[in-house]
Chains A and B, each alone.
Chain A
Amino acid sequence: SPLRKEGRAKVLGHAQYVDDLSLPGMWHGATVRSAIARGRIRSIRLSAKIDWSEFAVVRAADIPGENTIVHLTKDHPCLAAAEVNHPEEPILLLAHPDKTALLAGLAGVQVEYDELPGVFTIEESEAAVANNDAERFVWEGTGHNGTANCFRQYQMYSGEAKATEDGLADAFERADFIVEGEYHTGAQEQLYIEPNGVIAECEKDAAGHVVSVCVRGSMQCPYYLVHALTLVFNLPEERCRVIQTETGGAFGGKEDFPSVIGSHAALLAMKCGHPVKMVYDRAEDMAATTKRHPSRTRHRTAVSKDGELLGGEIEIALDGGAYSTLSPVVLSRATIHAPGPYKWPFLRVRSKAMATNLPPHGAFRGFGAPQSLFAMERHMDRIAHVLGLTPEEVRRRNFLATGDCTATGQPLTEPVDMQHLLTWALEESGYYEKLARFAEENRSSPIKRGVGFATFMHGAGFTGSGERRLNSHVEMDLLDDGRPRVLVSSTEFGQGTNTILCQVAAQTLRVPYESVAIAQPDTSLVPNSGPTVASRTAMIIGKLVERASTQMLETLRAHAGLPADHTCEQFTEAALRYLQEHGALRNSVHYEPVKPVHWDDELYRGDAYPAYAWAVYVAEVAVDMNTYTATVTRFDALQEIGKVMHPVLAKGQVEGGVAQGIGYALYEKCVWKDGRMMNNQMTNYIMPTSADLPEIHVHFEEVPSVHGPGGAKGIGELPMDGPAPAILNAIQNATGVSFDSIPLLPEDIFERFTAFTEPHGGSEDLNPEIDRDTRVEAPEVTA
């Protein structure tokens, strides 16, 4: 495998992250934030004890364009003007040449509020709607943008609506069992180790009007920030330049948020006439920026006694926070992934994203799928338990296979073999042997061990017609020395973008990987290849780089005498000849679907994604019944992701995703109080350390896909989806108890066992074994 393109700079400590940069005359910026969750701003007072002439102060009224951070709608203000809707909402911005003076400045701003009642959970938001309690409507729905307190809802049927409703009624009528379950997932912090940060510059004309702005910083999607700046400054795109600096982790947390901090720093630069650096400290980053959406998913499933899924109803609710931001698209991915890798004769999925007075939730690796797949995969084990079948039998009975249609009616034309993946994963992980051995050992041990698994898929690329709308643009050019260079706005933040795109170019151009360059994403230089999200870079952008490279070869063959079957020396000769004769070479390609995509946004039917990755993840756990601590003791991650482009990077992606998934399941809890995150420190928000993780075994099945370069499909988000359900399924296997909520911390396990062994509460002599076999999953079973 070729070495990571920017890896040498990283191991030397030479890589330049935004906080490592300093511009001449640079000031530092800070944000005055809301102290309450919801209310009207009565007054903003600046203390007389501070010499404000030393500071730049930006209020909402100073914004030259629109006071909005645009995502899908314009509900999200850049700075709160009249009211605040969540704790830590930005109200005022300060800049000062001396970073240490900012603390006094922040303390010198007094904001007075008339507080309004807030809603802090999905249930409170729903209750306000149910009670028509307009005082607690924190979002006024209009037209396409949902209803009161609801940003967006979807209804997805596995077929024509009426026929599916009839089919469902019939399925529930003739079912041997109806199995119900409710599943909850918590918010999760992305916890990139480099916090959000930017440096902004602003150029003004003699009259003091803003001519252009330039923002460099840590981000995934430079053109998202360009778009945000055009509105905030009322400038055309070409006057808003954005440069991505080396980015120290992102995971979705730097998809939409840089539009906020980038706009803020640019406003301060406008005000003070100097470059302004804003880098959040950890506490501010955790309290004020986006997290994974908390969710509640309800399943009601009609099944035959031999485990066939006859019909299903799924209801998903996400907590979107105070503004809609990306919630509608997160909800979309949650909805489409909710049915799992199964055949559903009749299925209805209803989903909604509710408004609350929490800081807006946003993108995080998986983007809704980890939530709905957690529910689906826990529910499959519940079905198996109710039917007295094994988790394996129930899944095998219902797996999608080549030629089947997904729940959106998408025919699976590329080979899919979940049966084989499951067989392989269970063998590889020693599942059967462990199942038997642990059952035996658990009788006499206070450490209860278990194994469990999840089977799932993840769609690569934007949903439905999304890729066509993005119309991604990729270019290649030649450097002065004849080396080819890739020009994309797709960013590197650890996943390997630089490396794999250069690999694709090198393979197509038949030149050494080392000779291929990739430009720093600078919107004044690189075209818009779309956002670096949605497991789309390797597959979609990789394919475009392949096409641009092919085009470059054709140009050099036609105009610079490049022979067929060329050597790399001949490539350089031809490249130099071309440059000498023509000055420069730029090859440019736009997205074209490999196959026609049919998608109906209204009915939510059709080809949801160009391709899917398929996976079986197996977790082995140990639950210590003295401390109620659950630990993952081994993890096997098997996936079919098309052709593996770079085994080292691919393994790294999977292992990192599994680690985040283990954190999601067992460690990472956001503690909320009136909409405010109370544990916004690494000290008390616990992510897995090297001592917390088991051996993670990664296995790849390679089935080349037509959609990506050299047969590759997307991989980035997939490994986030499987760990949580696999782990909770294993805990059920170990303890006999079904836990349906994550994160599952020792106190939660303790509470559950003590609650049903000692109904009156409190006990010194806890013996969960006694109740293990007698506990019945009562209400969800009806014969």
Chain B
Amino acid sequence: MKATVQFTINGQSNSVEVPPMKRLLDVLREDLQLTGTKEGCGEGECGACAVLMNGELVNSCLVPALQAQGATLCTIEGVSTEGHLHPVQQCFLECGGAQCGICTPGMILATQHLLNKYPNPTPEQIQEGLAGNLCRCTGYMRIFEAVQTAAEALHAL
């Protein structure tokens, strides 16, 4: 049994015919070939599959496709514009916020979400805001620096 699910993704309206309980993660990766969203644990612990849904940060491995009906979604593929890095991406690149890179898409979306909420985040707000996104490589310090630098860069725009 399949359902038609319509949503706006990375600025474009889209519709897919999928089983209604199919994980949004699999819809993104398999039906839309948006493989920038990663699977790390499949149980909502690691945040590698994080995307923005109606501006909220969600773990797409825990979202059934049907729940995305009518939603506005943003994945890592929607963060840059025409090959130009978003300031958050640029700061992750320059500050060493990405090492193996597997957590990076989710981490960048978590950062987007954080900076929308707190344009001038305190260190504690950064620590708490990214606590749902696990990184095994960096020890988070370079990521904190990237977020802090990105906040400043966004103000300068």
Q: Chain A: residues with CB nearer than 8 A to chain B?
A: 3-4, 6-17, 19-20, 190-195, 246-251, 281-282, 493-496, 648-649, 651-652, 655-660, 681-683, 687-691, 693, 695-696
Given contacts A3-B94, A683-B45, is CB(A10)–CB(B40) below 8 Å?
no
Q: Chain B nearest CB: distance from A514 CB in Å?
A: 14
Which of B1-9, B62-70, B123-131 lies at the interface with chain A? B123-131
Q: Mark B73-114, 1 if CB is under 8 A from A, else 0.
A: 001110110000100011011111011111111001000000
Select which of B80, B93, B103 is within 8 A of A3 by beta carbon.
B93
Are A246 and B35 in touch, CB under 8 angstroms? no
- Bound complex: CA of A251 vs CA of B137, how far in Å? 9
B100 touches A681 (CB 8 A): no
The contact of A4 among B80, B89, B96, B108, by CB within 8 Å, is: B96
Q: State A715–B152 Cα separation when bound (angstroms).
A: 32
With a cutoff of 8 Å between Cβ atoms, the chain A residues found around residue B40 in the complex are 193-195, 282, 682
List chain A residues, Cβ under 8 A from B46: 193, 682
Known: A13-B76, A659-B140, A689-B131. A194 touches B85 (CB 8 A): no
Smallest CB separation, A8 vs chain B (Å): 6
Taking CB atoms, residues of chain A closer than 8 Å to B138 are: 652, 655-656, 659
| Known contacts A651-B142, A681-B41, A690-B130; A192/B98 CB under 8 A | no
- State whether B100 touches A690 (Cβ < 8 A): no
B75 and A13 within 8 A (CB): yes
Contacts of A651 in B (CB 8 A): 96, 141-142
Q: A495-B99, A651-B96 are in contact. Are A690 and B45 (CB under 8 A)?
A: no
Closest to A662 in B: B139
Q: Are A194 and B102 in contact (CB under 8 A)?
A: yes
Q: Does the CB pair B128–A655 fall under 8 Å?
A: no
Q: Which one of B89, B101, B137 has the greatest number of beta carbons of chain A within 10 Å?
A: B101
**Shortest distance in angstroms between B36's beta carbon and chain A's nearest beta carbon?**
2
Instruction: Report the bound CA distance from A656 to B133 in whole Å.
Output: 15
Q: Evaluate contact between A193 and B134: CB separation under 8 angstroms.
A: yes
Which residue of B has the minimal Cβ distance to A646?
Answer: B96
- Whether B136 contacts A191 by the Cβ 8 Å rule is yes
Among residues of A, the one whose C-beta sits closest to the C-beta of B80 is A12
Residues of B within 8 Å of A648, CB to CB, are 95-96, 142
**What is the CB-to-nearest-CB distance from A518 to chain B, in angstroms, rounded to a whole number?**
16
Q: Which residues of A contact B103 (CB under 8 A)?
A: 193, 248
Query: What's the nearest-Cβ distance from chain A to residue B134, in Å?
Result: 6
Within 8 Å of chain A (Cβ to Cβ): is B42? yes
Residues 46-65 (chain B) with a chain A CB within 8 angstroms: 46, 48
* Residues on the A chain within 8 Å of B126, using CB: 690
Cβ contacts under 8 Å, B42 to chain A: 281-282
CA distance A251 to B136 in the complex (A): 9
> Which residues from A are CB-within-8-Å of B89?
11-12
A649 contacts B101, C-beta separation under 8 Å: no
**B148 interface residue per 8 A CB criterion:** no
Q: Let me know if A13 and B37 touch, CB within 8 A.
A: yes
**29 examples of A-B residue contacts, CB within 8 angstroms:** A6-B101, A7-B93, A10-B101, A11-B98, A11-B101, A12-B85, A13-B36, A13-B75, A15-B101, A19-B39, A248-B38, A248-B102, A282-B42, A282-B43, A494-B99, A494-B100, A494-B137, A651-B96, A655-B138, A655-B140, A656-B99, A656-B138, A656-B139, A659-B139, A681-B43, A687-B134, A690-B127, A690-B130, A693-B141
Is residue B151 contacting chain A, with contact meaning CB distance below 8 A? no
> Is residue B24 within 8 Å, beta carbon to beta carbon, of the partner chain?
no
Complex Cα distance, B128 from A247, in Å, reads 27
Pairwise interchain contact A687-B93, C-beta atoms closer than 8 A? no
List the count of A-B residue pairs having beta carbons below 8 Å apart: 164
Given contact pairs A249-B102, A649-B96, A682 touches B140 in the complex (Cβ within 8 A): no
Total B residues in contact with A, Cβ cutoff 8 Å: 53
| Closest residue on chain A to residue B35 by CB atoms | A20
Contacts of B140 in A (CB 8 A): 655, 659, 690, 693
The CA of A688 and the CA of B127, in the complex, are separated in Å by: 12
Cβ–Cβ contact B43 & A683, under 8 A: yes
For B132, the closest partner residue in chain A by CB is A689
Interchain CB contact under 8 A, A696 and B141: yes
> What is the CB-to-nearest-CB distance from A257 to chain B, in angstroms, rounded to a whole number?
16
Contact B45 A248, beta carbon cutoff 8 Å: no
B115 interface residue per 8 A CB criterion = no
Whether the Cβ atoms of A652 and B76 lie closer than 8 Å is no
Which among B29, B36, B40, B79 has the greatest number of chain A C-beta atoms within 10 A? B40
Nearest CB of chain A from residue B125's CB, rounded to whole Å? 11
Whether B36 contacts A194 by the Cβ 8 Å rule is: no
A-B CB proximity, top 3 nearest: A13-B36, A248-B102, A494-B100
Q: A8-B85, A11-B85, A13-B76 are in contact. Are A249 and B137 (CB under 8 A)?
A: yes
Q: Is the CB of B99 within 8 A of A8?
A: no
Give A647's nearest chain B residue, CB to CB: B96
Task: Compute how far the CA of A610 lies from the CA of B104 in the bound complex, rounded to whole angstroms.
Answer: 35
Given contacts A11-B85, A683-B43, contact A193 B135 (CB under 8 A): yes
CA separation between A330 and B71, bound complex, in Å?
A: 52
Bound form: Cα–Cα A576–B142 in Å: 40
Q: Which residue of A lies closest to B90 (CB)?
A: A11
CA distance A9 to B89 in the complex (A): 10
Select one of B43, B45, B137 contacting A656, CB under 8 A. Answer: B137
**Cα–Cα, bound, A4→B103 (Å):** 16
In the complex, the answer to whether A655 meets B136 with C-beta atoms within 8 Å is no
Hey, which chain B residues are within 8 Å of A682, CB to CB?
Answer: 40-41, 43, 45-46, 134
Q: By the criterion CB–CB under 8 Å, are A7 and B98 in contact?
A: yes
In the assembled complex, how far is the CB of residue B126 from the closest CB belonging to chain A, in whole angstroms? 7
| Nearest CB of B to A222, in Å | 17
Name A17's contact: one of B102, B134, B139, B144 (CB within 8 Å). B102
B143 at the interface (CB under 8 A from A): yes
Q: How far is the CB of B26 from chain A (nearest CB, A)?
A: 10
Q: Which residues of B contact A8 (CB under 8 A)?
A: 85, 93
B136 touches A193 (CB 8 A): yes
Q: Indicate whether A690 sits within 8 Å of B98 (C-beta atoms), given known contacts A13-B77, A658-B139.
A: no
Instruction: Knowing A11-B89, A248-B101 are in contact, say whether A194-B143 is a contact too (CB < 8 A).
Output: no
Return A3 CB to nearest CB of chain B, in Å. Answer: 6
What's the nearest-Cβ distance from chain B to residue A747, in Å?
21
Q: A192-B136, A249-B102 are in contact. Are A691 and B96 (CB under 8 A)?
A: no
Chain B hits for A9, CB < 8 A: 101
CA distance A250 to B102 in the complex (A): 11
What separation, in Å, do the CA atoms of A152 and B46 have in the docked complex? 38
Assess whether B94 is in contact with A690, with CB atoms less than 8 Å apart.
Answer: no
Docked-complex contact B92 and A11, CB < 8 angstroms: yes
Are A681 and B93 touching (Cβ within 8 A)? no
B45: chain A residues within 8 A (beta carbon): 681-683
Contact A11 B108 (CB under 8 A): yes
Contact between A282 and B136 (Cβ–Cβ < 8 Å)? no
Assess the A693–B101 pair: CB atoms within 8 A. no
CA distance A774 to B39 in the complex (A): 52
Does A690 contact B43, Cβ atoms closer than 8 Å?
A: no
**CB closest residue in chain A, given B76:** A13
Contact B38 A194 (CB under 8 A): yes
A210 to chain B, nearest CB (A): 31
Chain B 12-51, CB-CB to A under 8 Å as 1, else 0, gives 0000000000000000010000011111111101101000
- A687 proximity list for chain B (CB < 8 A): 134, 136
Besides the contacts A20-B29, A250-B100, what 11 more A-B pairs have beta carbons closer than 8 Å? A3-B93, A10-B101, A192-B102, A193-B40, A194-B40, A248-B100, A648-B95, A656-B138, A659-B138, A690-B127, A690-B131
- Separation in Å of the A655 CB from the closest CB of chain B? 4
The CA-CA distance from A478 to B121 in the complex, in Å, is 47
A677 CB to closest chain B CB (Å) equals 15
A282 CB contacts on chain B under 8 angstroms: 40-43
Chain A positions within 8 Å of B131 at CB level: 689-691
Q: Which residues of B contact A660 (CB under 8 A)?
A: 136, 139
